[in-house]
Amino acid sequence: MELGIGMFGDLSFDAQTGKPREAKTKLREILEQVKLADDIGLDVFGLGEHHRPDYAVSSPEIVLAAAAGITRNIKLMSTVTVLSSAEPVKVYQDFATIDLISDGRAEIGVGRGSFIESFPLFGYSLSDYNQLFEEKLDLLLQINNHEIVNWKGKLRAPLVNQTVLPRALNEGRLPVWVAVGGTPESVLRAARLGLPLIVAIIGGMPKQFQPLIEFYKQEYISNGHDPAKMQIGVHAHSFVADNEAEADGYFVNYSAQMDRVGASRGWPPYTKVQYNGGRDAEGALFIGEPAAVVDKILYLHEMFGLTRFIGHMDVGDPSHTSMMRSIELFGVKVAPEIRKAVG
């Protein structure tokens, strides 16, 4: 099982001015953090796309390209690229470029987008939400498999004998993961196409997702794909602390961000009861001392047959010092125990 960390580039807000801290500082911190993750032997680093004032990263490709030049082994993926409002040709070109810079370490995670700010920003209608993703995923896969592309859809101009360059390593093909939040239709799409699946679990209990993942496995095999090539990942909110007091104190950062997101979605204020429930053995938060995080990841591995776990670590913008320590603990305390347990 591959182990990694993920981020959105959360920005905390000044209580007096109401303004977020500078994106410049956050971006520099992210690069230091991914370099540390690489240095301590983690397998993958994921970065998500948002277009809001509480996130510093609107272009994961640019940050991942910068990371490619300062890392040696870690895989670099988007978690996720909002493909519905993106241009598949440019997505492929950007990640192929990262792949060449990094000597074959680039991966694309694509999703429909749980945040919708990118749709009006780039001139897309939410009424086309599902069709945009289906068409653009089809085009991206065509580009991924063919240097010269012929393609026709309904929502984008056709491509006729168009050459898409540069080409990634591995005969031009990049790993393309489909990221889902729990929609059966999205899981079915990934299974039919034989694409690796990554499930975002940010609430409730992970075991609630077990039927969904079993559905993916069944459909993947029934559509003729090799079960030996099946890849299943989970992306979950995580934070590794030296002690229980630090893990408990992280509630301040975590709840602040959940409330910022919730304010635009009609959620009630996030409570300590929710936080503690999420941190329980069967909860969806991988927040605690190393031993507790190890146990929860192994629980997921056994339940789902995971091939990848990405701990999303910067919810609420904890301090750079705290982030570096959490990553260090994940790499030197959590990862070795998991690798030993799963062989």
Query: Six-digit token pair at 9?
Result: 């580039």
Do 150 and 51 meet the contact criterion of CB atoms below 8 Å apart? no
H or E segment at 78?
Answer: strand 75-78
Domain count of the fold of the chain: 1
Residue 336 φ/ψ, nearest 5 degrees: -60, -40
Identify whether 9 is part of a domain.
yes
User: Strands 308-312 and 286-288, how do they pair?
Assistant: unpaired
Identify whether 136 is part of a domain.
no
pLDDT tens for each residue of the chain, 343 residues long: 999 999 999 999 998 999 999 999 999 999 999 999 999 999 999 999 999 999 999 999 999 999 999 999 999 999 999 999 999 999 999 999 999 999 999 999 999 978 999 999 999 999 999 999 999 999 999 999 999 999 999 999 999 999 999 999 999 999 999 999 989 999 999 999 999 999 999 999 999 999 999 999 999 999 999 999 999 999 999 999 999 999 999 999 999 999 999 998 899 999 999 999 999 999 999 999 999 999 999 999 999 999 999 999 999 999 999 999 999 999 999 999 999 999 8
Alpha carbons 217 and 303: distance in angstroms, whole number = 13
Identify whether 335 is part of a domain.
yes
CA distances from 231 to 1, 92, 112, 195, 216 (A): 10, 21, 20, 8, 10
pTM confidence score: 0.97
Identify whether 153 is part of a domain.
no
Percentages helix, strand, coil for the chain (3-state, rounded to 5) are: 45, 20, 35
Identify whether 148 is part of a domain.
no
Identify the CATH number of the domain in which residue 10 sits: 3.20.20.30
pLDDT of residue 74: 99
Alpha carbons 326 and 38: distance in angstroms, whole number = 14
Do 45 and 37 meet the contact criterion of CB atoms below 8 Å apart? yes
| Domain span including residue 21 | 2-56+67-78+169-342
What are the residue ranges of helices labelled H in the chain? 23-39, 60-68, 88-101, 118-121, 129-145, 184-193, 210-222, 244-249, 251-263, 272-279, 290-304, 320-329, 335-342
Bridge partners for 148 per DSSP: 163
Identify whether 134 is part of a domain.
no
